[in-house]
Amino acid sequence: MEIRPLTAPLVEIAADWLIVPVVEPVQIDGSLAGLDKALSGALSRLKDLGDLTGKFASTLPLRGISGLGASRLLLIGVGKPEELTVGRLDRALTTAARAISDKKDVRVAVAVPDAAIGAVSPSQFATSATAAGLVGSLGQDLFRTEKARFPFASVTIASPAKVDGLESAVDRGQILGEAINLTRDLVNRPPQEITPIGFAKRAEAVAKQFGLSCEIFDEKRLEQEHMKSLLAVAQGSTEPARMVIVEHKGGAANGPRLALVGKGVTFDSGGLSLKPTDGMLTMKCDMAGAATVLGAMTAIARLKLPVNVVGYMGLVENMPGGSAFKLGDILTARNGVTIEVLNTDAEGRLVLADVLSYAVDAGVDRIIDLATLTGACVVALGEDVVGAFANDQPWCDAVLKAAKTCGEDAWQLPMWDLYDELIKGDVGDIKNTGGRWGGAITAAKFLQRFVGGKPWVHLDIAGPAFASSNKPHREGGGTGYFVRTLVEVASQFGKP
Ligand code: BES
Ligand code: MN
Ligand code: ZN
């Protein structure tokens, strides 16, 4: 996809589609008035007819028009200026991109507004538009002969007036959009391809491409590291486990390090506690935590953020088999904690336990982990909201603030001591399930045993990481949710 910023009058821009934002109530002034005039007053008439409202995420396509350099116009409502946020704008512009990406080789131009809309500046608009062009025009139909969606041939971010920093705003949008699409691609690819080794190969390739250092631990190395809890999960599979570590050293050599830890269960059958078909159906998505970490790391590197960030991805396939780990097994995790296995389908926490303990011993200063960890979190918060859990309130507040900035929704759940009771073991130190109630919290409580008191936030992305159906504003399948937030956290890391 060719992406370029351009300063030119909107009426002159050659494109198959020109996307133009419209606020509510509609005001035909500035460059919108110029378009109206070139279209012989069509926009004013549509306003009077009540067809052009500017209502949030409403789309009004005008095809086969004459008078403009573009052959089609898409008016996209961005709603009331005082209600607009970057997150809402992302949603509106992605809706617009999705609405016009059903044909091949489409050249799109997006009109940057003359001035800020509410709190959103023209350069923020340019970033949002670029990312939306990339994310909205990419489908999940990787292997379909007849595609439903086609990446745009080109996206021109067109501003009638000179916008300071337009070029770098567009670059940033491209980097974010491509990072989100990398995460989506990894989640959408089938589990036969994205095995632990398949994932590690992709990680190695993108690390090389974007200048991240990359280390891959094979099963022997994991054994040497005593990562017995992670390895137990992989035991029933013919696919060996891996841990991938990618690092961006953008800060001072002795400066603080942020760790991003991802659950990478490349397929979760449940193991011997086998899932029924309905529950297993989407379990290729169980590596979304790792894919989100990798996507964010590529963006952090490409943006050359002046911070030190390490990504850790724990990769296993959870299968039943003759050598599978069993209910009643006692696992000794890397940090010496003994775990009683009550359910082999509570495997994500067993994987993360050892990866978290590795990160802690590597001397990182702050930790965020991401995992499609529990169905209970989806029951609690619904499909569109991330569950947040923490042992350090200021650090949690920083992560939640970043999420808010990006328009991604997360909600904190309590981590009171009373929940520790629920995972106390009979034979070992802790059990890998805490029973039916409060399942998202007891899972987080389990993880807390492996972070050694380091400031840590656990993000349960089981709901939003994977969407079962299309919506106007997003494609079904992998969503890349929280890539933006991780990049924002890294941008703010170490700032007062
Ligand atoms: N990967 C699943 C959680 C999940 C569910 C992710 C739905 C995405 C959508 C996880 O490994 C799991 O199976 N969790 C169990 C835990 C239980 C056995 C304590 C669950 O949520 O049922
Ligand atoms: Mn499971
Ligand atoms: Zn799982």
Q: 98, exposed or middle or buried, with CB in 10 Å at 0-12, 13-18, 19+?
A: buried
Residue 28's pLDDT band, with cuts at 50, 70 and 90, is: very high
CA 269–ligand 1 middle distance (angstroms): 10
**CA-closest residue to ligand 1 atom 9:** 462
The pLDDT score that the predictor gives to residue 161 is: 92
The reply to whether 2-160 and 185-492 are identical in fold is no
Residue 82 in this model has a pLDDT that exceeds 90: yes
CA 394–ligand 3 middle distance (angstroms): 29
Name the 3-class secondary structure at 70.
strand
- Contact of 367 with 310, CB cutoff 8 Å: no
Any idea which ligand is nearest the CA of 442?
Answer: 1
The pLDDT score that the predictor gives to residue 354 is: 99
- 275 as an active site residue: the answer is yes
Nearest to 113 by CA among 182, 32, 4: 32
The predicted model gives 96-112 an average pLDDT of 98
Residue 32 in this model has a pLDDT that exceeds 90: yes
Spell out the residues 6+ positions from residue 401 whose beta carbon is closer than 8 angstroms to its own: 492
The percent of residues in the chain predicted with pLDDT above 90, rounded, is 99
The pLDDT score that the predictor gives to residue 339 is: 99
- Contact of 126 with 157, CB cutoff 8 Å: yes
The percent of residues in the chain predicted with pLDDT above 70, rounded, is 100
- Contact of 344 with 273, CB cutoff 8 Å: yes
Token representation of residue 30: 């500035």
The pLDDT score that the predictor gives to residue 496 is: 81
185-492 in CATH: which number?
Answer: 3.40.630.10
Residue 140's pLDDT band, with cuts at 50, 70 and 90, is: very high
Pocket test for ligand 1, best of 267, 374, 379 (most atoms within 8 A of CB): 374
The pLDDT score that the predictor gives to residue 198 is: 99
The predicted model gives 171-181 an average pLDDT of 98
Residue 494 in this model has a pLDDT that exceeds 90: no
pLDDT digits (tens, 9 = 90+) for 226-237: 999 999 999 999
Within a 10 A sphere around the Cβ of 84, how many other Cβ atoms? 22
Residue 328 CA: distances (Å) to CA of 254, 344, 372, 445: 44, 10, 24, 20
pLDDT digits (tens, 9 = 90+) for 180-193: 999 999 999 999 99
- Residues lining ligand 1, Cβ inside 6 A: 268, 286, 343, 345-348, 372-376, 378, 433, 439, 462
Write the class of the CATH domain 2-160.
alpha beta
pLDDT digits (tens, 9 = 90+) for 319-329: 999 999 999 99
Mark the residues whose beta carbon lies below 5 A from ion ligand 3.
265, 268, 286, 348
The predicted model gives 365-391 an average pLDDT of 98
Residue 495 in this model has a pLDDT that exceeds 90: no
Mean of pLDDT over the chain: 98
pLDDT digits (tens, 9 = 90+) for 246-284: 999 999 999 999 999 999 999 999 999 999 999 999 999
**Phi/psi at 456 (nearest 5 deg)?**
-145, 140
Q: Give the H/E segment covering residue 245.
A: strand 242-249
Domain residue ranges in the chain: 2-160, 185-492
- 284 as an active site residue: the answer is no
pLDDT digits (tens, 9 = 90+) for 146-170: 999 999 999 999 999 999 999 999 9
What is the pTM assigned to this prediction?
A: 0.98
Token representation of residue 215: 């280390």
